[in-house]
Amino acid sequence: MKLYNYLEEIEVLQTNVTHFDLEIKGVSSRLDEVENGFIFVCIKGMRKDGHTFAVSAKESGAVLLVVEDITDAVTVAGLPYIRVKNTRATLARMCAKAYGNPERALKFVGVTGTNGKTSTCRLLSEIYTKAGQRVKTIGTLDGNLTTPDPEDFFKIIRNAFDSGYERVVMEASSHSLYLDKLDGVRFDYGIFTNLTPEHLDFHRDMDEYAMAKARLFKNADCGLYNYDDSYYKKVSSLSSGRIYTYSTLDSAADFFIKDYVSKGTDGFEYTLVTPKDDIKIKSSLCGRFNVYNTLAASSLAYIDGVDADVIREGIISVKNVSGRLEKVELGDVPFSVYIDYAHSPDALEKVLGCIRDFKREDQRITILFGCGGDRDRTKRRVMGQIASRLADFVIVTSDNSRSEKASFIIDEIMKGIDKERPYVVIENRREAIEFAVMNARENDIVLLAGKGHENYEIDSLGKRYFNEKEIAAEAVCKRLKGK
């Protein structure tokens, strides 16, 4: 593809390019991916500035630089360059162009919010599948990043298009929206689930966090918002399309529920009241947070014209969502183990509240959790307070400590732990899980919180395989042999 094709939608502020018919073989902001004939996009990252790698990019075969500044390194490289206002947004548009703009041929639904994105996407994808559509889901369960970088994202979309998919249902993280990773993508529909304190190591405050989420709806034809969330109006302020709302509490919303009945671990049911019809919804999932997730998915599908019977069928067919209050199958043991991705105060409070709602009086809740390193430190004490308040026994451990010392993170969590209530600190997470299983009492409910679907652990030595289901199963074997 020629250079002028890549520049069709790019505002060039300055350039020294003389031949715009230059043949381009690819585009990337990752130095290790640059090959002969590539465009290298210089991104100013959180820790490194891509402009400093201009010479290395040339040595790897780059024939053009995309820059925000004409730095000394760019000058020394001596490559043709184009200067733009925002290299991140330019990278997204160039990657889209490199793959033939596949995003224009598919229907897009984006789900954003602090919690509920993964489950809502899973539910909505199942509804569309029951409606006979081929749906590609993109999110936390599909990779390390909630929303892939442009180099990966548009390749995924191209492969989906080539494979005959019609629709993409995806999670849109605040990071990806704030960093313009999805620049140029037009969403048919967007869903806002909720906003609670999270990622405040990245965003300056909750208002900035909310406005990052709002960017999705600036490029959406229709937005569906959680009417019960205090940030609903702020997030919808950038909306460029139709606005709909959903609520479990207020009949002023476009979609709301009535006749809610909880069936504990067997799920719940309610009547979804739409602007025209009432739809009886039954779900095998449990927890009030899943009421919101099913409500969001059902309401969006209704707006999109999906038949009520198909919506009902799609919702009831989802028996669980990986790593979301997922029961670990451990055979004939006198206690239960669940895993959940809860790694924020709000998520931890909700999942523990859910368990308290369905547990019997004779059942004790054991919570095992930690907090991630190189992330928002303000939530550590708060999560300790929540664990002490809502669980009967607390095990504080590590959870992706990254470059921080796990012991330091645990010390900060301990500032919120009620020392008058039962607790133990076991830094090694594997040993902590084994302890939880080996010491579980009859009828206990053990919750392993924080990692959910993840099958790895990250510390100062790097990333390694770590599967909590397998560790719990091995601990059960040890327990049974011990008997």
Q: What is the pLDDT of residue 200?
A: 62
Angle at 177 between CA 174 and CA 182, to 5 degrees: 140
Q: What is the pLDDT of residue 311?
A: 98
Mean per-residue pLDDT over the chain, rounded: 94
pLDDT tens for each residue of 447-458: 999 999 999 999
SS3 88: helix
Average pLDDT over residues 272-286: 96
Q: What is the pLDDT of residue 265?
A: 81
% of the chain residues with pLDDT over 90: 87
Whether the pLDDT of residue 144 is over 70: the answer is no
How large is the angle between the packed helices 378-390 and 345-358, nearest 10 degrees?
10
The enclosing H or E element of 457 equals strand 456-459
Q: How many CB atoms lie within 10 A of CB 459?
A: 17
Q: What is the pLDDT of residue 89?
A: 96
Q: What is the pLDDT of residue 196?
A: 87
Q: What is the pLDDT of residue 46?
A: 80
Distance CA 448, CA 440 (A): 13
pLDDT tens for each residue of 381-408: 999 999 999 999 999 999 999 999 999 9
Q: What is the pLDDT of residue 150?
A: 96
Average pLDDT over residues 404-419: 98
Quickly state the pLDDT bin for 146 (edges 50, 70, 90).
Answer: confident
Q: What is the pLDDT of residue 199?
A: 64
Whether the pLDDT of residue 415 is over 90: the answer is yes
Q: What is the pLDDT of residue 141?
A: 79
Q: What is the pLDDT of residue 435?
A: 98
Whether the pLDDT of residue 482 is over 90: the answer is no
DSSP output for 289-346: HHHHHHHHHHHHHHHTT--HHHHHHHHHH---BTTBSEEP--SS-SSEEEEE---SHH
Distance CA 113, CA 244 (A): 16
pLDDT tens for each residue of 98-121: 999 999 999 999 999 989 999 999
Contact predicate 10/94, CB 8 Å: yes
Domains of the chain, first to last: 3-98 (3.40.1390.10), 102-317 (3.40.1190.10), 326-482 (3.90.190.20)
pTM across the whole model: 0.88
Distance CA 370, CA 407 (A): 11
384 or 362, higher pLDDT: 384
